[in-house]
Amino acid sequence: MQRSLALWLALALALAQAAGAQTPLEEAARIAAEPNFLDRPGGAGNDPQTSVAQPDFSARPSANLNTSIQDLLEPYGDPFAARSFLRTRGIAYSFTYVGESFGNVTGGARRGGIAEGRLDFQFDADLDTLMGWRDAAFHTNLYQIHGIGLSRHYVDNFMSVSAIEALPSSRLYELWVEQRFFDGQLGIRVGQLATDTEFAVSQTGTLFLNSTFGWPNIMASVIPSGGPIYPLAVPAVRAKYVLNQSFSLQAGIYDGDPAGPPRRGNDPDPQRRNRTGTNFRTNDPALVIAEAAYAYGLEADDNIEPGTVTLGGWYHFGRFGSLRFDRSGGSLANPSSSGLARRFRGNSGIYGIIDQTIYREPDDPNDGASVFVRLSGSPSDRNLLDLYLDAGIGYKGLLPGRSDDTVGVAFAIERISKNARGFDRDTLLFGGTPAPRRSSEAVLEVSYQAVLGPGVTVQPDFQYVFRPSGGAANPREMDGRRIRNAAVFGLRATIRY
């Protein structure tokens, strides 16, 4: 395992080196021709880009990707000029393939390695150009997912090692129509939507491979079926109002369970209960989420580097059970308990994000460093997790002659809720058998994305997982020992057309 991972890393570095560094004249010409990063189409989640270290490519559903291997293929990149013809009719499409290999070299539930991949087909139409429907747009994307996930089979942790990890399937993701009003300031989007394409997104965090740096894992753990996030979307309505370049407000109402509640006789895994993404459920208690974002430092004469402050919250109208107490107020761990958990009406959470550019290189203002901090909390009496924090730093163009490459370090930690920890204590008290008590899970990630050309990247990655599953007992061990800290090495390759 270690030898194969070393070979993967050596290959990645060799490919990056083969891409070649630019001469000083080429570098000066590139800098002169490059538009300011603040003028690019948008940051993650379609907000103004304020993170200078946002990578050129991300597997996140929320990322805005603007490069394609078509530019390398020159005339062969558009056979029979079909793509150009469709673009004149308002139609655009793309294919993105993400392939990766990860290995758990020590700790976790067991050691081992995996290979997995995802093909993403996206289709967009400007309905005004196509059929005269003014200020309207259509979007859909489909996934073909294959391979097995490292977290599910080897590490057994909450915060999945890879953001593309999912059960093998071919499935529909989003499918929507958006109508804009008031010169584009207000957009109403209707159809099958996901929350992680626009809400709770850090621009700098899109570099990292672990799933929690996209959609915070605390929200995935407490919302039924993980919520409407990759790879599951739901029928929904979203409204976004952009007052000006600096301020936006968005809110959405979503079906609150992408797969429906598990019942006797059906599969407990939500991805198997909604195998193709076409359940289109509308009868579950709703999930409402709202978010306000303020961007600053967008003008050349501002005395502060660009940044974004985001505040948001969500509320789920379903019923949720206590993790510690039964309906009579006694402990669920008590052998005499009814086993019926106390029920609560509704669930909620709040979050805040800061994305801040902290340094731009004097000779190349499109290169530099950005940081992000994100904090989220939920009630302790009905959730497995009640507090979450992540933070990280990214630097674009750190190595000489590698202006498009991005390197970063990030850390995330989430706390097991007070009631869940209390249940562990009760289990020890009533059972008498020594067992570990859960406390928190954390992950440290170091990643380097090398851009080999338009639409082509390789990304070596290292993650260290502290207390997988919060420090729970390893189900593969008979002596009740905790799942050990895990060291994970990986390599991702992407190509976009």
Rounded-to-integer distance, Cα 200 and Cα 214, Å: 8
Task: Quote the CA–CA distance of 348 and 382 in Å, as a whole number.
Answer: 10
Two tokens, residue 147: 């391979």
- Cβ atoms of 459 and 74 within 8 Å: the answer is no
SS3 of 52, please?
A: coil
**Number of Cβ atoms within 10 Å of the Cβ of 339:** 10
The confidence score (pLDDT) of residue 102 equals 97
Grouping H, G, I as helix, E, B as strand and the rest as coil, residue 217 is helix
Q: Where are the alpha helices (DSSP H) in 242-362?
A: 270-273
Neighbours of 343 (CB within 10 A): 11
- Which amino acid makes up residue 413? I
Token look-up 């469709």 returns 86
List b or e across 380-409, with b for residues whose CB sees 16 or more CB atoms inside 10 angstroms.
bbbbbbbbbbbbbbbbbbbeeebbbbbbbb
Rg (CA), the chain: 23
Q: Are 372 and 391 in contact (CB under 8 A)?
A: yes
Q: 473 with 436: CB under 8 angstroms?
A: yes
Give the burial class of 107: count Cβ atoms within 10 A of its Cβ; 0-12 exposed, 13-18 middle, 19 or more buried: buried
Question: Are 450 and 457 in contact, with CB atoms under 8 Å apart?
Answer: yes
pTM of the model: 0.91
Single out the residue of 121, 164, 171 nearest to residue 141, CA to CA.
121
The CB density around residue 358, as the number of other CB atoms within 10 Å, is 14
Specify whether the CB–CB gap between 375 and 414 falls below 8 A.
no
User: How far, in Å, CA of 390 to CA of 373, rounded?
Assistant: 6
The neighbour count for residue 442, using CB atoms within 10 Å, is 20
Find the DSSP H helices in 415-489: 418-431
- C-alpha to C-alpha distance for 365 and 410, rounded to whole angstroms: 23
Number of C-beta neighbours around residue 63 at 10 A: 21
Residues of the chain with pLDDT under 70: 1-35, 41, 432
